[in-house]
């Protein structure tokens, strides 16, 4: 039984070979790439102005990569010059600004939609409130009219009774 448990444990733990290390190059991201990733945007999801900025950036980055590949092919050690690095950052920042503007426009559009919906709901609520007040006023008017009619009828009936009594009194008096 002990051998079965040991064999089960060995199946559960994968064997790691410390000598084998993966040599992956670190992935460097520019500011616009981080911003796009945070907002779930792709190059195809952005507006035309931002696409132009992205194309400019990609063209310059391609130029830098080709220069690097050429230098490494010749056997020279290559480092990114500060001027090219600054230009890449400037291009990336211009993409960020354009992207932020388009995101703000989308946000304002969503805010406007929400505001319109809220205004419509408020207007609908006010209409219902107004109609309820009108109905209540109409009911009160009808009830007051009914009461007035009843009072008038009662007064008329009282007056008729008085007239009848007076008539009866006069008839009885003459006889």
Q: Is residue 121 part of a domain?
A: yes
In the block, residue with structure tokens 């008539």? 167
What's the domain count of the chain? 1
| 8 assigned to some structural domain | no
* pLDDT tens track for 80-122: 899 999 999 999 999 999 999 988 888 899 999 999 999 999 9
Token pair, residue 52, equals: 């132009």
* Pick from 15-19, 36-40, 101-105: least confident: 15-19
Is 60 part of any domain?
Answer: yes
Structural domain span for residue 38: 28-170
- Domain assignment present for residue 79? The answer is yes
For the stretch 125-160, pLDDT in tens is: 999 999 999 999 999 999 999 999 999 999 988 888
Asked whether residue 9 is assigned to any structural domain, the reply reads no
Residue 85 falls inside a structural domain: yes
């Amino acid at each position: 039984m002990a051998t079965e448990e040991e064999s089960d444990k060995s199946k559960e733990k994968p064997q790691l070979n410390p000598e084998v290390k993966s040599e992956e190059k670190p992935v460097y991201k520019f500011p616009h790439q981080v911003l796009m990733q945070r907002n779930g945007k792709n190059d195809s999801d952005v507006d035309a102005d931002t696409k132009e900025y992205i194309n400019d950036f990609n063209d310059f980055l391609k130029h830098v990569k080709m220069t690097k590949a050429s230098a490494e092919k010749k056997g020279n050690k290559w480092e990114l010059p500060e001027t090219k690095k600054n230009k890449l950052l400037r291009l990336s920042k211009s993409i960020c600004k354009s992207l932020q503007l388009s995101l703000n426009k989308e946000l304002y559009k969503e805010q406007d939609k929400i505001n319109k919906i809220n205004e419509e709901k408020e207007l609908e609520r006010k209409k219902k409130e107004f109609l309820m007040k009108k109905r209540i006023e109409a009911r009160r008017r009808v009830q007051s009219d009914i009461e007035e009619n009843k009072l008038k009828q009662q007064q008329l009936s009282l007056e008729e009774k008085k007239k009848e009594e007076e008539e009866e009194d006069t008839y009885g008096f003459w006889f």
